[in-house]
Amino acid sequence: MVQYEIGTCYGCRKCMYCGCNLSEKECKCNRKVKPKKSNRTSQVPHSFGRTFDNNLASNKKTFIQKQNALYSYNIDLNKKFSFTFCSTCNSSFQRLSKTKNTAPSSQETISSSQNENIITIDDDFTSSDFSFHTEKSIDFQDENNKKNEDSLKEISFTFIVKKADGKLLPGKWLTLDVLTFEKFVIQIQRYVGSMVGIDDIDQTEYSLAFKPAKSNGEDLELSESKDFEKFLNEYEKLFKSKKEIIVIAKMKAMKQKLNKKKKRKQIEVSGLSPHQKAIGKLVMELREQWHCSQDNLPCYVAPGIHLKLTAKLLATWAECIMEGTATIEIAPTYPEFSAQHATKKNSHSSATLMSSQVFPTYPVQYIPSLPPQYCVISRESLAPVSNLNELSQSQLPVPSIKEFLEKVDKDEGSNGEFTQFIDAFNEQKISVKHIKDLKDDEFQILGVTAIGWRKTIQAAAKQYG
């Protein structure tokens, strides 16, 4: 058995001081004191005092009886007592039917005719707690109860967002503590932003209106305090008739906001300087020129040298081309491109690989002023070797996206730069064979925003057909 305390929500056993669920754990608050605005914490912004007596509507009385049994309060329901509700339970309690009780039988009232019209008043309660022993007095009490509840201005309604194209988003049932029009529109603004997915939505981007549920009439504007007064009056009428009201937010600027986002994206992409664009183009050419099918990434191959070209080396090479100290065929003279930084492999296999994959029948012309590893290559017909190359590519087993991106990441010497896209590719059901046909906007959807990333992935995928 649990002894009910006035500082506890009667409906859910929530502490009306700290917000703790007392069914799960106890708190140290003094719940014997009636909660007020001055002694509550921010966890409990509102509390609602109520009084139980036999003149309550039957549905409300049933609710009180159920909670009494549920939490074993062991309260004598034949006597009047006071209790407290939180916002949620109070809202549920308000929505219960307000069916008027019939006059109590003669067995339940004082049979003496002298007491027939006596009004019993308790100084601890408001006029809504007066007990009349006639049918007329019961009607008067119910009316006062309604006015007392309505004065709290806690309203419940269906909220709908109507998009600019006329489509309706799924409705949401809201219960708001409303005191002024200004507070109402601020609370509505938060829900509009949540439903359309824009946190910083402005009130000028939509208009508000209201109408009774299941009504074919025109919506009524809800844009100022006078409209809000009309809304509250209409709400009270419908509430008494057990009908609902609908509030509608009509979007009118969503398209403009989306256009602004797209424009901002275009500015970001096109914000590269001419020099940066030229470097990017040269890096792409270097990747294609020096692509190594053996390692499936760009490699600089010269006599005794097999150097993997990382993104940094490619950018350095491109800068040197811009400065005129290197070309697509001739590497820079920086130490990073020397033999000591290269991965030495069998010279025969390297030479065979490069001759079959990149420039198979190119004679090498050495330049006396340069070290022997820097050479100029004159091109000849590629047709016979190209056919052989296509045959070897068609025989390669196609890896999964995970295996493919892990290999690209490893070959590029990047720490997770390419494997971060595995989930995005799998979600869109992209296989390795699809990659060569992907467009720039499709790469954007996959999150591959950098030009270098796209070119690297597409170049690596070419060998699989």
Tell me what pLDDT residue 314 has: 92
What residues contact 158, with CB distance under 8 A and at least 6 apart?
Answer: 171, 172, 173, 174, 213, 244, 245, 246, 247
**Which one of 104, 119, 139 terminates a domain?**
104
Least confident of 229-233, 242-246, 263-267, 444-448: 263-267
Q: Return mean pLDDT, the chain.
A: 74
- 94 versus 255: the higher-pLDDT residue is 94
**pLDDT digits over 58-83, tens only?**
888 889 988 888 888 888 888 888 99
13 with 55, same domain? Answer: yes
Cα separation values, 115 from 106, 120, 122, 129, Å = 12, 10, 17, 18
**Which one of 336, 369, 390 terminates a domain?**
390
What residues contact 187, with CB distance under 8 A and at least 6 apart?
Answer: 176, 178
Rounded to whole angstroms, the Cα distance separating 155 from 151 reads 10
18 with 51, same domain? Answer: yes
15 with 63, same domain? Answer: yes
pLDDT classification of 211: cutoffs 50, 70, 90? very high
**pLDDT digits over 262-315, tens only?**
555 554 545 578 888 889 899 999 998 999 888 888 998 887 788 889 988 999
* CA angle in degrees (0–180, nearest 5) for 120-84-37: 110
pLDDT classification of 318: cutoffs 50, 70, 90? very high
- 108 versus 435: the higher-pLDDT residue is 435
364 with 408, same domain? Answer: no
416 and 409 Cβ atoms separated by less than 8 Å: yes
Residue 78: CB atoms within 10 A of its CB come to 7
The percent of the chain in helix, strand and coil, each rounded to the nearest 5, is 45, 15, 40
Residue 242: CB atoms within 10 A of its CB come to 10
**pLDDT digits over 366-386, tens only?**
444 444 444 444 434 334 444
41 and 17 Cβ atoms separated by less than 8 Å: yes
Asked if the model's pLDDT at residue 362 lies above 90, the reply is no
Asked if the model's pLDDT at residue 111 lies above 80, the reply is no
pLDDT classification of 131: cutoffs 50, 70, 90? very low
Tell me what pLDDT residue 181 has: 87
Give the DSSP H/E element, type plus range, for residue 227: helix 225-240
318 with 376, same domain? Answer: yes
Cα separation values, 242 from 82, 96, 213, 236, Å = 27, 10, 11, 10
430 and 421 Cβ atoms separated by less than 8 Å: no
Rounded to whole angstroms, the Cα distance separating 84 from 33 reads 11
Please indicate, yes or no, if residue 175 is contained in any of the structural domains: yes
362 with 283, same domain? Answer: yes
Nearest to 82 by CA among 40, 129, 46: 129
309 and 282 Cβ atoms separated by less than 8 Å: no
Tell me what pLDDT residue 361 has: 37
* CA angle in degrees (0–180, nearest 5) for 267-273-278: 120
Please indicate, yes or no, if residue 73 is contained in any of the structural domains: yes
**Which one of 364, 390, 416 terminates a domain?**
390
What residues contact 384, with CB distance under 8 A and at least 6 apart?
Answer: none
Query: Where do runs of H (alpha helix) occur along 337-439?
Result: 347-357, 383-394, 401-412, 422-427
Please indicate, yes or no, if residue 133 is contained in any of the structural domains: no
Please indicate, yes or no, if residue 454 is contained in any of the structural domains: yes
We report the CATH number of the domain holding residue 413 as 1.10.150
Classify residue 335 by its DSSP letter.
G
Please indicate, yes or no, if residue 294 is contained in any of the structural domains: yes
Which two three-digit tokens encode residue 171?
């409705």
Please indicate, yes or no, if residue 110 is contained in any of the structural domains: no
What separation, in Å, do the N-terminal and C-terminal C-alpha atoms of the chain show? Answer: 76
Annotate 102-130 with b (16+ C-beta within 10 A) or e (fewer): ebeeeeeeeeeeeeeeeeeeeeeeeebbb
Which two three-digit tokens encode residue 62?
């049933």
Output the 3-class SS for 148-196: HHHCCCEEEEEEEEECCCCCECCCEEEEEECCCHHHHHHHHHHHHHHHH
282 with 361, same domain? Answer: yes
383 with 408, same domain? Answer: no
Please indicate, yes or no, if residue 262 is contained in any of the structural domains: no
Which two three-digit tokens encode residue 169?
């988003």
Rounded to whole angstroms, the Cα distance separating 436 from 219 reads 53
295 with 375, same domain? Answer: yes
pLDDT classification of 159: cutoffs 50, 70, 90? very high
**pLDDT digits over 29-57, tens only?**
888 888 887 777 777 888 888 888 888 88
Asked if the model's pLDDT at residue 149 lies above 60, the reply is no
Cα separation values, 319 from 119, 174, 309, 342, Å = 98, 61, 14, 20
Domain of 246? 154-256
Least confident of 2-6, 107-111, 185-189, 340-344: 107-111
Please indicate, yes or no, if residue 238 is contained in any of the structural domains: yes
Beta bridge partners of 176: 155
Domain count, the chain: 4
- 259 versus 420: the higher-pLDDT residue is 420
26 with 99, same domain? Answer: yes
Backbone φ and ψ of 57, nearest 5°: -60, 150
DSSP characters over 4-52: --TTBBTTT-BBTTT--BTTT------TTSPP-TTT--TT----EEEEE
Classify residue 77 by its DSSP letter.
T
Asked if the model's pLDDT at residue 209 lies above 90, the reply is yes
pLDDT classification of 3: cutoffs 50, 70, 90? confident
Tell me what pLDDT residue 253 has: 57
89 with 7, same domain? Answer: yes
Nearest to 1 by CA among 85, 84, 86, 68: 68
Rounded to whole angstroms, the Cα distance separating 48 from 36 reads 9
207 with 295, same domain? Answer: no
Nearest to 293 by CA among 337, 355, 243: 355
Asked if the model's pLDDT at residue 120 lies above 50, the reply is no
Asked if the model's pLDDT at residue 157 lies above 70, the reply is yes
Tell me what pLDDT residue 352 has: 41
We report the CATH number of the domain holding residue 202 as 3.10.20.90
Rounded to whole angstroms, the Cα distance separating 463 from 396 reads 8
